[in-house]
Amino acid sequence: MEETIAPYQNPQFKKSKVNGTVWVVLFAIAVIVIGGFVLSRQQKKVPEAKKDVVVEKKEPSPTAKPKIEKSSVKIQVVNGTGTPGQAGVVVKALEGAGYSADNIKTDNAEKFTTLTTTITARTDFEEIVNDIKDVLKPTFEEVTVDSSNLNSDSEFDIVIVTGGKLFEAITATPSATVTPSSSPSPTVGVTPTP
């Protein structure tokens, strides 16, 4: 009797089909591993290839200075010409610009020979100095900012020395001055005595 073997029952056929599937899966895994390796190497090489790229060095931005309130600024106004009321004119102009009269003190200079109005300030008061300079321009012909700064132990934040035409005191001599009187003065007669 002859045995008939069905083709689907052939053990050799099943083995080759399994072996083929295993090879296809192994091939796919190998492609994925190799492709991943190649891609990862390319990504690592990109920064190395750009060695000639210049990186711009950015300076840190300066920190903003705290805003100084005008009403808190301590100011000294020194009359440098001797003109009566000149320091008072400066005080009124500063008050009109928002500075507090309580923080403004006036004084007279030792000599009245200042021709230019000068502003001297502590460090970091540049913005206030520029504002005061603008406030005083209509009043004085020449306003300058002193490049030296006030000492840190100074009582004042800003010192303004007024300048301009020199004050000349008018002196009158008794022999040359005659003042008319508005009321009649009594006449006294002088009689000679023997």
Each residue of 144-159: pLDDT tens digit? 999 888 888 889 999 9
Q: Is this structure's pTM higher than 0.85?
A: no
Residue/partner pairs of 56-61 with CB below 8 Å, 24 or more apart: none
Q: Where are the domains of the chain?
A: 71-161
pLDDT number for residue 169 = 45
Give the least confident one: 4-8, 159-163, 169-173, 182-186: 169-173
Q: Quote the strand ranges of the chain, DSSP E.
A: 75-79, 104-108, 117-121, 143-145, 158-161
Give me the mean pLDDT over the 108-133 stretch: 91
**Fold exhibited by the domain 71-161:** Alpha-Beta Plaits (3.30.70)
Q: Are 135 and 107 in contact (CB under 8 A)?
A: no
**Angle at which helices 126-136 and 86-96 cross, to 10°:** 120
Q: Classify the C-alpha dihedral 89-93-145-69 as positive or negative.
A: positive
pLDDT interval class at 3 (50, 70, 90): low
pLDDT number for residue 54 = 66
3-state secondary structure at position 116: coil
**DSSP codes joined into one string, 59-114:** PPPPPPPPPPPGGG--EEEEESS--TTHHHHHHHHHHHTT--GGGEEEEE-SS---
